[in-house]
Amino acid sequence: MTARYDFKTIEERHQADWTKEGLFAAGEDSSRPGYYVLEMFPYPSGRIHMGHVRNYTIGDVVARYKRMQGYNVLHPMGWDAFGMPAENAAIKHRIHPSIWTHENIDYMRKQLRRLGLSYDWEREFATCDPEYYRWEQLFFIQMFEAGLVYRRKSKVNWCEGCQTVLANEQVEDGRCWRCDTEVVEKELDGWFFKITDYTQELLEGCDKLTGWPEKVLTMQRNWIGRSVGAEIIFPLAGKDGEIRVFTTRPDTLLGATFMSLSPEHPMVLELCMGTGQEEEVKTFIDHWSKIPARERQITKSPNHQIIQSPNHQITKSPNHQITKSPNHQITKSPNHQITKSQKGVFTGAYVKHPLTGESIPIYIADFVLMEYGTGAVMAVPAHDQRDFEFAKEYKLPIKVVIQPEGKDLKPDTMKEAWEGPGTLVNSGSFDDMKNERAKEAITGHLEAQGLGNQKISYRLRDWGISRQRYWGTPIPMVHCDTCGIVPVRKQDLPVILPLDAQLDEQGQSPLSGLESFWSTTCPKCGGPARRESDTMDTFVESSWYFARYTCPDETSAPLDRNRVDKWLPVNQYIGGIEHAILHLLYARFFTKVLRDLGWLSADEPFANLLTQGMVLKDGAKMSKSKGNVVDPDKMIHTFGVDTIRLFILFASPPERDLEWSDQGVEGAHRFLHRIWRLITENLEGLTSASTDKEILVQGTKATKALRQKTHQTILKVTEDIEQRFHFNTAISAVMELINEAMAYLNRYGTPKIDQQGDWAVLREAMEAVLILLFPMVPHITDELWQLLGHQKTISLEPWPVADLDVARADTVNIVVQVNGKLRSQVDVTQNTDKEIIESMALDDPKIKRYTEGKGVHKIIYVPGRLINIVMKH
């Protein structure tokens, strides 16, 4: 009699048992070493999607695996609960963001519990809880006091129709997503975190993050964007003043034939004044300022052609349209065209070249960024492609100062700029110098003359955290007419986000219209004052939540130093690759700030990072608009949690994208059924097997082979999980072991009940299968484990260690190649001498066909792998 694989009952029962036994609570005074595994917490959008399931399944495997290895595992879960979708829902469905958010959290928590994830739910929190954000407000004030917070103007997307700020994602083709009004740029006062104070440490820290993927570190390094160059002073011609430029190519200084300023450069208007170019400049800047900043960054024409169109037209296909082709394949429309090019205007003013004294015209160029360097560029058309195109367009002179080896560049015949290395020409005393040396020589010369100096520039900008929105952490500042801007007194925290705000499609930030909120008294002078109505970027909450998990019950302080220092840095952080730059950089920055404020000791938040790929269906990311969403609830109902987990882990390695396949899910389900039957149909024999170690050792050739496979599988699975989290290959190794066990039973028949040795070997194999698969499919393996007669949950089993003597093969297969092509193979015992293998290979009749009558040039032998006979000519 065998039991049916009733996954629903099994999964519910074991989940209840685990909870009852409190297996997932991370104790504080444990003698076991700690291990902190964390998945990026979700935004409570309503329902979990497959991306969540994948993320949390991967984390759960790591958590369970580490527990089996004897670690005291901290594996928490919570909610990144502030954000725009709640406000959008409020406007659309007339439901308060708070209610909407909490309903979503309740629903999603149930979903996560149903997934059997091994969280310590005692530590759960939501960031919209005042008990969380009050500490963020404290950090803000402390950062303000430490000079890490400041206020300045910055540009935002503005919709005149809605009278509101728009996020980038609310701008569709340059228009407001709600009312279709053209989006303009507007200067707005806002709060900034001085992340640039930590630039150097953030950059250098990348070298120490050996547990992070190299590609993420590269992206972070590039984002910070360190470049060594020079700041050079160009005096104005004909009047007092100067313009400073930053360049990474001081070696090309003598090739500068004009200067380009950013349209935002503060000197622009002053320069063109009285030159007759005033009108033209104003028209240009007026035109330019209407293009939102985010579109300016993608303004290079594809084929380096200058398109002189007066209207800055941007054509963009409606966001990545998916079209269904007749054969039901989803294809992305290829026409994602942006046609626009750099443009500029002459200011009418000139600077003097610092070395030659020549007059150089000053232009305004739309590709020059105010945020980087000094907002002014010395243009060297011969050696910078953008300058080259600009010079061609406006008929400006081109002067070659770097001559590459073996070429003779001439301004008239050049088709593009030469940006590579070479020797200096036309550069006076610097001629004949290699350009790399000339960089130092020219910078040194300028420094001596007081005309410039070496400078390191970074691309990283300060972090603007002001949001003119309701559903976020209120910024704890007060505006007083007498005292200016004053922080809220720490004892008055938290500044509670009022729940009676009105949200509608029109208007300013809801808080600025809510007098009961903004009307206050100045903490300093006691006079009437106005509260800051901006809230913080939700990235702030996610920049320290991992620290709060270590002490979520702490009521007197944001963090309990002892507990934070015990757990941080997170041993293993897991989340989507889309967070490779912003979230991870902000979290690193915040950790360093909290360290310097004395709240914790860690320098970095995450010791090891695993970036998982996306879940795709029909080659595209799952989304409602594309209609290719697979609902986790339905899948779990039909197949059970273990099947879904198995499929997700098996279908691809975690760092790669995962293509959803309903048939693949069925395959995973089938595999679990196979294990179920294999064990339940042989339960009598398996449970009767002797547990005596001795009996395993004496065995027939066949049982020896199965034992060998068992121990090889233990080795392989441990390696795959430990070294690279490749659960897909770990699972396929277990599949091979199952296949071998099935083949064993087919070949020799089910052992008689008194064949103790055979049963013992089979039992060893099956128990290995269950333990190895447990972190991935915990419910079915726990059930089968107990069916095999074990009283306690498999969760408490230690991770197995392979017996290397058993795993080692007696013979090894050596490939024989002739001229690198596989021609034969020989089986030899381990450690056979090279000479013996060589003569075996040369005597092989299949090899003789190729070697007969020709001379052997040389023989290459790779021990234990192959032998390659290289023939003459």
Q: What is the 3-state secondary structure (H, E, C) of 744-763?
A: HHHHHCCCCCCCHHHHHHHH
Shortest separation between residue 659's beta carbon and RNA, angstroms = 4
Sign for the CA dihedral angle at 374, 375, 377, 383 comes to positive
Q: Which of 152, 290, 437, 656 binds RNA (CB under 7 A)?
A: 656
Residues 758-787 that bind RNA (CB under 7 A): none
Binding to RNA, residues 278-317 (CB under 7 A):
293-294, 297-298, 300, 302
Q: Which of the ranges 29-37, 133-141, 457-465, 782-790 carries the binding residues for RNA, by CB under 7 A?
A: 457-465
Q: Which stretch binds RNA (CB under 7 A): 141-149, 455-463, 628-636, 684-692?
A: 455-463
Rounded distance, CA 438 to CA 243, Å?
A: 23
Q: Segment 462-481, which members bind RNA (CB under 7 A)?
A: 463-464, 466-468
- The distance of closest approach from Cβ of residue 511 to RNA in the complex, given in angstroms and rounded to an integer, is 14
Select 190 or 552, whichever has its Cβ closest to RNA: 190
Among 184, 203, 514, 614, binds RNA (CB under 7 A): 614
CB of 770 to RNA, least distance (A): 17
509 scored as a contact of RNA (CB under 7 A) = no
Q: Which of residues 79-118 bind RNA (CB under 7 A)?
A: 80, 82-85
Among 29, 169, 405, 754, contact with RNA (rule: CB under 7 A)? 169
Q: Could you say which of 583, 626, 704, 790 contacts RNA (CB under 7 A)? A: 583
Among 390, 671, 725, 744, binds RNA (CB under 7 A): 671
Q: Which of residues 341-400 bind RNA (CB under 7 A)?
A: 371
For the chain, what's the residue count? 873
Nearer to RNA, 414 or 616 (CB): 616
d(CA 375, CA 369): 6
Given the rule CB under 7 A, which of 96-104, 262-270, 664-672, 798-806 is the region that contacts RNA? 664-672
- Looking at 95-213, list the stretches that DSSP marks H as alpha helix, in order from N- to C-terminal side: 97-114, 130-145, 199-208
Distance between CA 503 and CA 511 in Å, rounded?
A: 10
If the CB atoms of residues 611 and 781 are measured against RNA, the closer one turns out to be 611
Only one of the segments 175-183, 355-363, 761-769, 860-868 lies at the binding site for RNA (rule: CB under 7 A); that segment is: 860-868
* Residue 837 interacts with RNA (CB under 7 A): yes or no: no
Token couple for 748: 């020799």
* Side-chain half-sphere CA neighbours of 262 within 13 A: 18
Provide the CB-side half-sphere exposure for 83 (13 A, CA). 17
Does 152 interact with RNA (rule: CB under 7 A)?
no
Q: Is 561 in the site for RNA (CB under 7 A)?
A: no
Of the candidate residues 777, 817, 826, 841, the single one contacting RNA (CB under 7 A): 817
3-state SS, residue 637: helix
| Cα 250 to Cα 354: distance, rounded to the nearest angstrom | 12
Subset of 43-82 contacting RNA (CB under 7 A): 43, 80, 82
- What residues are paired with 862 via a beta bridge? 866
Prior bond to 798 cis, omega within 30?
Answer: no
Q: Which of 179, 456, 801, 860 binds RNA (CB under 7 A)?
A: 860
Cβ 849 to RNA shortest distance, Å? 7
Minimum distance from residue 9 beta carbon to RNA (Å): 20
User: Judged by CB under 7 A, does residue 129 bind RNA?
Assistant: no
Of 102, 673, 704, 790, which lies in the binding site for RNA, with binding defined by CB under 7 A?
673
- Cβ atoms of 53 and 644 within 8 Å: the answer is yes
Return all residues near 821 (Cβ < 8 A) that are at least 6 apart. Answer: none
Nearer to RNA, 124 or 659 (CB): 659
Pairing of strands 242-247, 227-235: antiparallel
537 binds RNA per the rule CB under 7 A: yes
853 near RNA, judged by CB under 7 A = no
Closest to RNA by CB, 701 or 821: 821
Please list every residue from 787 through 806 that binds RNA, using CB under 7 A: none
User: What part of residues 731-750 is at the interface with RNA (CB under 7 A)?
Assistant: 731-732, 735-736, 739, 742-743, 746
Core vs surface per residue 723-744: b (16+ CB within 10 A) or e:
eebbbbebbebbbebbebbeeb
For RNA, the binding residues in 197-226 under the rule CB under 7 A are 214-215, 218-219, 222-223
Minimum CB–partner distance for residue 370 and RNA (Å)? 12
- Helices 7-21 and 778-787: crossing angle in degrees, nearest 10, is 90
Q: Which is nearer to RNA, 15 or 509 (CB)?
A: 509
**According to CB under 7 A, which one of 728, 760, 764, 769 is a site residue for RNA?**
728
State how far the Cα of 346 lies from the Cα of 393, in Å rounded to an integer. 12
The C-alpha atoms of residue 671 and residue 358 are separated, in whole angstroms, by 79
By CB under 7 A, tell whether 532 contacts RNA: no
Which one of 53, 128, 149, 166 is in contact with RNA (CB under 7 A)? 166
Look at residues 147, 177, 149, 152 and name the one whose alpha carbon lies nearest to residue 164. 177
Rounded to whole angstroms, the Cα distance separating 795 from 65 reads 9
3-state secondary structure 250-275: HHHHHHCCEEEECCCCCCHHHHHCCC
Strand, coil or helix: what is 505?
Answer: coil
